[in-house]
């Protein structure tokens, strides 16, 4: 995978950062976008030794001009874009009776519309490069009704549809599109918002009897983005310890 270039959205922390870190370990150059300046600053410090192979910038996936600039800057710097990981996501609590319309709109805008914008912009660069590419979407087992907020579940279910449609449309260009669906994964956000008791309960109910780590997810993402997965597209891969078997 040496000399290849990846873009990871929402990549300053958690699963996104683990993916970026593994891409770097495997020889790729990596661009990271995020809307958190603090997160970007922390990631920049952690990756200071890789400054020549990283590009970190503040950009919202829901802002098409911003994402067009990100991709343009990446191609200008490294001459190509081979991989997109649509990791940026938003979640807010609520239920059918309590989730507000504004929260619904905000979540869908980032999780689904943002993934569409990033996909269309990145795929255009891959098409122009002529060497194909890989797009990996980060979904969730919440798409199958595992207690997620309605907007989050709907956005992640919609992402499965986007994955499959894009796989069909982009396949003739040599671009694969797949989705990884993590279960409960021990990111900072999960530890803060779910708490250890819920994490432990989830682990106890999983066939593998453990919660996932960001690195567990990153390993699968990196495989799907690798030349070894060139004949894999349109797939939903559950990384949940067996909680969801699609």
Tell me the pLDDT tens digit for each residue of 71-86: 999 999 999 999 999 9
What is the fold, at CATH topology level, of the domain defined by 5-239?
Answer: Rossmann fold (3.40.50)
Say what the pTM is. Answer: 0.96
Closest residue by Cα to residue 122 from 195, 70, 49:
70
Q: Are 174 and 132 in contact (CB under 8 A)?
A: yes
Every domain of the chain and the residues it spans: 5-239
- How far is residue 76's CA from residue 70's CA, in Å, rounded to a whole number? 10
Q: pLDDT tens digits, residue range 194-228?
A: 788 888 888 999 999 999 999 999 999 999 999 99
For CA atoms 18, 134, 35, 56, give the dihedral sign: positive
Q: Given a cut of 70, is residue 2 above it in pLDDT?
A: no
Tens digit of pLDDT for each residue in 37-72?
A: 999 999 999 999 999 999 999 999 999 999 999 999
CA distances from 21 to 27, 28, 29, 85 (A): 10, 10, 10, 13
Sheet holding 83-86, edge to edge: 54-58, 29-34, 5-9, 83-86, 133-138, 175-182, 236-239
Q: Catalytic site residues?
A: 152
Asked whether residue 1 carries a pLDDT value surpassing 60, the answer given is no
Residues 6+ apart with CB under 8 A from 211: 183, 184, 185, 186, 199, 200, 202, 203, 241
Residue reference for tokens 């600053």: 41
């Amino acid at each position: 995978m040496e000399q290849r270039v990846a873009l990871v959205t929402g990549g300053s922390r958690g699963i996104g950062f683990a993916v970026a870190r593994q891409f770097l370990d495997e020889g790729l150059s990596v661009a990271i976008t995020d809307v958190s300046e603090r997160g970007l600053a922390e990631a920049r410090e952690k990756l200071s030794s890789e400054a020549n192979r990283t590009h970190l910038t503040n950009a919202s996936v829901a802002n098409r001009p911003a994402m067009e600039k990100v991709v343009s800057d990446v191609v200008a710097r490294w001459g190509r874009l081979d991989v997109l990981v649509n990791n940026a996501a938003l979640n807010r609590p609520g239920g059918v009776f309590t989730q507000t319309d504004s929260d619904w709109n905000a979540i869908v805008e980032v999780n689904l519309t943002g993934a569409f914008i990033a996909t269309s912009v990145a795929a255009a660069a891959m098409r122009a490069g002529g060497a194909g590419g890989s797009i990996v979407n980060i979904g969730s087992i919440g798409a199958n009704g595992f207690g997620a907020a309605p907007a989050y579940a709907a956005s992640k279910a919609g992402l499965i549809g986007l994955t499959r449609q894009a796989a069909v449309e982009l396949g003739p260009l040599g671009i694969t599109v797949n989705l990884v669906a993590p279960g409960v994964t021990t990111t900072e956000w999960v530890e803060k918002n779910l708490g250890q008791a819920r994490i432990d309960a989830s682990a106890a109910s999983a066939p593998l009897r453990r919660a996932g780590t960001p690195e567990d997810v990153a390993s699968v993402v990196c495989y799907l983005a690798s030349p070894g997965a060139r004949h894999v597209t349109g797939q939903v891969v559950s990384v949940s310890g067996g909680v969801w078997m699609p």
